[in-house]
Structure formats: C-alpha cells, structure tokens
Amino acid sequence: MSLEPQTNLKTETAHALKELIVRELKLDGKDPASIDDEASLFGEGLGLDSLDALQLAMSIEEQFGVRIPEGDEARPIFRCVATLAAHIDSSRAEAAKVTAGA
C-alpha cells in the first residue's frame, strides 16, 4: 500500500468530519472548510465543551461506525480534527483487517 491513498483517505475523513461537526453541533453559518485540521476543538480553538464531545462521539459512532473510548483515553483523540480523523481511519482499518482475517 502506497502512502498516497492513505493521505486521500485521511483528507476525505477530515472533510466528512468537519461537515459532521458543523451539522451536529449546529454551528450555523460556519463553513466546514474553514475549520483547521490542527486547531483545538475545545477551549480556545473552536470553543466546544464536554457536551459537544459527547454529541460528537455519538454521531461519529453513527456515521463512521467507530467508537471513541470514554474517559481520559478520549482526550488526545478529541484534540483536533486531524487526531479524530486518524482515530476513525485507524479503527476502520483495524476493523477491516479483522473482517478480512475472519
């Protein structure tokens, strides 16, 4: 597997994730493309809070079929769009491997 498709995958996931963030957190008027992959989602950056994190975790599970761990483990995953997208992609790749192996 070359690096290129993975990068595309990551971009695709990040793009879908940004649309999900705007839709699920009702950020009316915000252009999903204006969300920086590396900007923090909570506190300073996008200004989200713990209730948003829960809504994001639920809707990511619904849309991508990927569970976000609860508690402290979730912290680094929720840092920014890039970390969330990486978690989604790696969880899906893991699941695909398991399915393929079964």
Partner 1 sequence: MQEDVRLFVTGVGLVTALASSREASWNALLRGERGIRPIDLFDTSGQRGRIGAQVQDVTVRDAPHVATAAWSRSSVMAFIAAREALAHAKLDTKKVRVGLVIGGTTGGMFENEARLAELHRNPRNEEALVELLSHPLTAACDCVTQAVGPFVRTRTLSTACSSGANALIVAAAWLRAGLCDAVVAGGSDGLCRLTLSGFNALAAIDPEPCKPFDKSRHGLNLGEGAGFVVLERAPQVRARNVEPIAELAGWALGSEAHHITNPEPSGATPARVMQAALARANMTPADIDYVNAHGTATPLNDPMESAALMTALGKEIARIPVSSSKGQIGHTLAAAGAIEAGICALVIQRQKIVPTVGLVDPDPACALNHVVGEGRAARVRAVLSNSFGFGGMDSALIFKEANLDDPPIFVDENRRVVVTGAAALTPSGLRGTEQIKELLADAPNNHDITLDFAAHLDAMRARRLDRPARIGAIVVERALAEAGGDRIEKTGAVFSSAYGALDASAAYLHRLYEKGPRLASPADFPNLVPSSPVGHVTIYLGLGGPALATADLETSGESACTQAIELIQAGEADVVVAGGIEEASAIVERRLATIYRRLSETEKETAEIPRARAEGAAVVVFEAENVAKARGSRVLAEVTACLAWREDNLHPLSTITAPKNISEARVVMPRSEDESLIALLDASLWKDVSRVACDGAGGEHEALGAIAIGAALSEIFAGSIKEALIVGLAKGRGYALRLESRC
Number of helical H runs and strand E runs in the chain: 4, 0
In the bound state with partner 1, the residue whose beta carbon lies nearer, of 57 and 81, is 57
In the bound state with partner 1, the residue whose beta carbon lies nearer, of 38 and 62, is 62
Among 85, 83, 86, 53, which Cα is nearest to 70's? Answer: 53
Which one of 26, 43, 44, 99 is in contact with partner 1 (CB under 8 A)? Answer: 26
Which one of 4, 31, 44, 70 is in contact with partner 1 (CB under 8 A)? Answer: 70
Query: Residue 66: CB partners within 8 Å, gap ≥ 6?
Result: 60, 87, 88, 91, 92, 95
Does 36 help bind partner 1 (rule: CB under 8 A)? no
Does 73 help bind partner 1 (rule: CB under 8 A)? no
Structure tokens that stand for 7 in this block: 């990068």
Contacts with partner 1 by CB under 8 A lie at 24-29, 47, 49-52, 54-55, 58, 61-62, 70
